[in-house]
Amino acid sequence: MDWGLKNRLSRIIKSDGKTVMLAVDHGYFLGPTSGLEDAEKTIRPILSYADALMPTRGIIRTCVDPSTDTPMVLRVSGGNSILDEDLSNEGVTVAMEDAVRLNVAAVALSIYVGSPNQKETLLNLARLVDEGHRYGIPVLAVTAVGKSMARDARYLALSCRIAAELGAHFVKTYYCDEFERIVKSCPVPLVMAGGKKIPEYDALELTYNAIKQGAAGVDMGRNIFQAGSPVAMIQAVRAVVHEGATPKKAFELYNDLKKRRVSKKPRLKGVTASSADLSRH
């Protein structure tokens, strides 16, 4: 691996071999996802807690402070939308030259193994890896699953291994039973995708289980920015990923930080904040 590529990867995956990536790229096919309608407002308070941010180039340029130290993992595939019956029809949406201009630490592209567009998405990955090597930019392969596709260890191990064989430098996939089997057969670091919003404790438990079974961290979106307190949640996720906190400890931390943030809110003189006010934070 070239020095530049290693250097960029080390900004994302920290010296403990772990990372907490914050995924905010949902809009590339979902449009205004709940919690990201005003992406700038959502990203601003949590950005500094993320080891890396995963946005599209449109969101970087319009919603992310260019003076940030947080490395960007740029989503560079798309062309599909939630209205498609088959989501697999994706192409590369960003020239590597623009990724360099944006000073990204890595680029990310989805592959759809077993879908009608399997070959195209895999060849896109292979081409992106070639270009990544030319410019020293690592590639994250996202093992996407279609609306009706299985998320079991057999399928996800197949997708992750193919991604690594084609040269992906790290891979993002879903948690499932026998997750360890996927990790063991994937020769590059594997980060866990968060998936749809679940209760905060459950998301911390999911993170804990993935890390225990060998994940190099998480690339989590909705379970952070749709949490009751996104700032508290990302810190709780960090505690699990970087400090080995148990779900119970991390959930206590979440509640504690959430409470402190609520109590810091300014109150109108002589007026106690209503429960409706509190529920917004």
Which residue's CB comes closest to ligand R5P? Answer: 194
Q: Specify the amino acid at residue 54.
A: M
Q: Taking the complex as a whole, how short is the minimal distance between the CB of residue 279 and ligand R5P, in angstroms? A: 22
Q: Which of 159, 202, 156 is nearest to 180 (CA)?
A: 156
Q: Which residues contact 248 (CB under 8 A, 6 or more apart)?
A: none
Q: Which of 127, 139, 118 is nearest to 189 (CA)?
A: 139
Q: Out of 43, 144, 171, 240, point to the residue binding ligand R5P (CB under 6 A).
A: 144
Tell whether residue 110 is a contact of ligand R5P (CB under 6 A).
yes
Q: Taking the complex as a whole, how short is the minimal distance between the CB of residue 172 and ligand R5P, in angstroms? A: 7
**CA–CA gap between residue 194 and residue 204 (Å, rounded):** 10
Q: Which residues pair with 53 in a beta bridge?
A: 22, 72
Q: Out of 217, 221, 230, 247, point to the residue binding ligand R5P (CB under 6 A).
A: 221
Q: Taking the complex as a whole, how short is the minimal distance between the CB of residue 179 and ligand R5P, in angstroms? A: 16
Q: Which of 264, 237, 267 is nearest to 251 (CA)?
A: 237
Backbone torsions φ then ψ of 111, nearest 5 degrees: -115, 150
**E-assigned strand segments in 81-129:** 91-92, 106-111
Report 60-99 residues binding ligand R5P (CB under 6 A).
none
Check if 259 is active-site. no
Tell whether residue 121 is a contact of ligand R5P (CB under 6 A).
no
For ligand R5P, the closer of residues 47 and 193 by Cβ is 193
**CA–CA gap between residue 66 and residue 148 (Å, rounded):** 39
For ligand R5P, the closer of residues 198 and 273 by Cβ is 198
Residue among 6, 172, 258, 269 flagged as catalytic? 172
Tell whether residue 142 is a contact of ligand R5P (CB under 6 A).
yes
Tell whether residue 23 is a contact of ligand R5P (CB under 6 A).
yes
Please give the radius of gyration of the chain, using alpha carbons only, rounded to the nearest integer: 19
For ligand R5P, the closer of residues 158 and 273 by Cβ is 158
Q: Give catalytic residue positions.
A: 172
Q: Which residues would be at the binding site for ligand R5P (CB under 6 A)?
A: 23, 25-26, 110, 142, 144, 193-195, 220-223
